[in-house]
Chains A and B, each alone.
Chain A
Amino acid sequence: MKIAACIKRVPTTEAQAKIGSDGKSLDSAGFQYMPSFYDEIAVEEAIKTKEKLGGDVTVLTLGPQDASKELREFIARGADAGAILVDPAWHARDARSTAKALAKKIGALGAELVFLGRVATDRDNAAVGPMLATYLGWACVTEVVSIEITAGKGVAKRETEHGVETVEFALPAVITCNKGLNEPRRPNLKGIMAAKSKPIAEEPAEAVANQTVVEKVELPPARKAGRIVGEGAAAVPALIKALREEAQVL
């Protein structure tokens, strides 16, 4: 079975936001990057599925040319190939234009099963997975915490605010992965050596105009200065008074 895992390069969680000089973007000068946290879980599930059912895993990203660095890291863990849909303006793509470009490539790869993280921790839209599935006309289960794939179909569980849903679906399918689904493995030395000779294909990402118009980007309003109401359990009455009378939330 052909399996794909999609990853996205995002600023590290320690990154501080600085507004770009146009007031409509983030200044990326100080950013360090990493694959989005949930993508590791997606790639792990793709590799586990291959190990169980056979086939091969392609790790796919829409990003800059040097995203090959992240792809090699995942190939070292057990993926078979990488593919970059190159777009120098990757970080400004909106959910629709990303999903459409990925859908085209997934179709060309002939994949039957695609794993993504439940959300990319930069724009936090959690939209590309289900949009991709819709463009492909495939089944999709989001925020999955457990999954069982057998010949041609699968059963997945997803957590909602009210409980755990069990969802049955037929392949082909798009799955977005939540924490708890698996424990991502680390690459070993053999994998790292082998990854050097594995193919990473590059092609321009399909040009799809963004619909999103960024009107402005700002830092969040500073919270007004708070105060220490006291020390230890003795401060509790002062806190209660403040919550009731000043803040009026109790």
Chain B
Amino acid sequence: MATIVVYVEQENGKPIRASLECLGAARAAAGSQGASVVAVVARAGAKDAAAKLGAFGAAKVVCLVGAARPSADATARDVARVVRDQKASAFLAAATATGKDLAPRVAADLDVTLFSDCTGFEAQGGSFRVVRPWLAGKAIATLSTQAPVLCATTRPNAFAIAEVGGTAEILDVAASDDGKAIVTSVAPKPGGKLDVKEAPVVVSGGRGLKAPEHFKLIEDLAAAFGNAATGASRAVVDAGWRPHAEQVGQTGKTVAPQLYIAVGISGAIQHLAGMRTSKVIVAINKDAEAPIFKIADYGIVGDAFEVVPALAKAVQEVKAHK
């Protein structure tokens, strides 16, 4: 019986949402194959996180315990060992900063190639295949591998979480503590701001906002949603108005939220590539001819300085009545 190994990232004993989605992707593909899903968790808090994973589709959880010095290369060696021990035919991790750092090392340790940031993962016959964007989404490729193990990372927000409500067998394994590069400290993001790649709602601003201080409008609209991250076009990041971590597009981040609101963004092709797979797109722009309206589901032609505060207020009212 085939096995899929999934690396589950956790924070303070709580599995992160993108990893639960990844587990969901594995569970859905495994179901049609009679395959089983084995999760791997590491770092402080692993035991607490492990206890929660049976409910999300893991049949077994391997806990890498006892490492004092967190290291991606050491964890990757341990994870690759689990993949070998389980005779897994696929390995998945979420395409987060941690997952993207870890998965290529696991793949190289296994001497197999990697497919990053996949939007599809499915069983086909006895093996698996993935769907992933090329050129930041200007083309979509369906790929499989001749390697014995398919290694891939899954894009946050692209897969459904499987709430199956089972319990998993938990297995402790001593983690390696011989990392070549060691994480010595983590400075948390101020105010626990959501990342543009993970947030279910993204509110992005562009040059139409005219000055960096006007991004207050974007921040206020994001705050009205409560579950939104702020994003930015390349033009305003290059101008130094916003940090690069917020940049959406081909030379920034590719996002797929439930709702993407583009404010004062004309819609250059490299920006569209980074957000066109969003479920619903709203564009607010003064220029009725702006290319962004061509891919938007809903558009408002108008001045951001009038429309955005009114929208923030209306969203706030809706949220208050829920």
Q: A and B, one complex?
A: yes
Q: Mark A1-43, 1 if CB is under 8 A from B, else 0.
A: 0000000000101111101000000100000000001100000
| B113 engages A96 (CB within 8 Å) | yes
Chain B count of residues within 8 A CB distance of the other chain: 90
Stretch at the interface among A48-56, A72-80, A104-112, A227-235: A227-235
CB within 8 Å for A240 and B306 given contacts A164-B187, A166-B183, A229-B299: no
In the assembled complex, the Cα of A101 lies from the Cα of B201 at a distance in Å of: 41
Given the complex, which residues of A lie within 8 Å of B114, measured CB to CB? Answer: 95-96, 125, 127, 131
A85 interface residue (CB < 8 Å to B): no
| A165 engages B135 (CB within 8 Å) | no
CB within 8 Å for A242 and B140 given contacts A140-B181, A236-B311: no
Q: Mark A120-133, 1 if CB is under 8 A from B, else 0.
A: 01111111111111
**Chain A interface helix/strand/loop/mixed:** mixed
| Nearest CB of A to B36, in Å | 24
| B113 engages A97 (CB within 8 Å) | yes
| B282 engages A239 (CB within 8 Å) | yes
In the assembled complex, the Cα of A15 lies from the Cα of B146 at a distance in Å of: 30
| A231 engages B302 (CB within 8 Å) | yes
Given the complex, which residues of A lie within 8 Å of B201, measured CB to CB? Answer: 249
A207 interface residue (CB < 8 Å to B): no
| A37 engages B307 (CB within 8 Å) | no
Q: A209: nearest residue on chain B (CB-CB)?
A: B146
Can you show 7 pairs from A to B with CB atoms below 8 A apart? Answer: A13-B251, A95-B113, A134-B73, A142-B100, A170-B180, A226-B295, A226-B299
Which A positions have Cβ atoms within 8 angstroms of B? 11, 13-17, 19, 26, 37-38, 94-97, 99, 121-135, 138-143, 155, 158-170, 173, 178-180, 210-220, 223-224, 226-233, 235-237, 239-240, 242-244, 247, 249-250
Given contacts A232-B303, A249-B201, 14 further A-B contacts (CB under 8 A): A14-B270, A96-B108, A125-B116, A125-B117, A128-B104, A138-B180, A161-B97, A167-B184, A173-B181, A211-B145, A214-B142, A228-B298, A233-B309, A236-B300
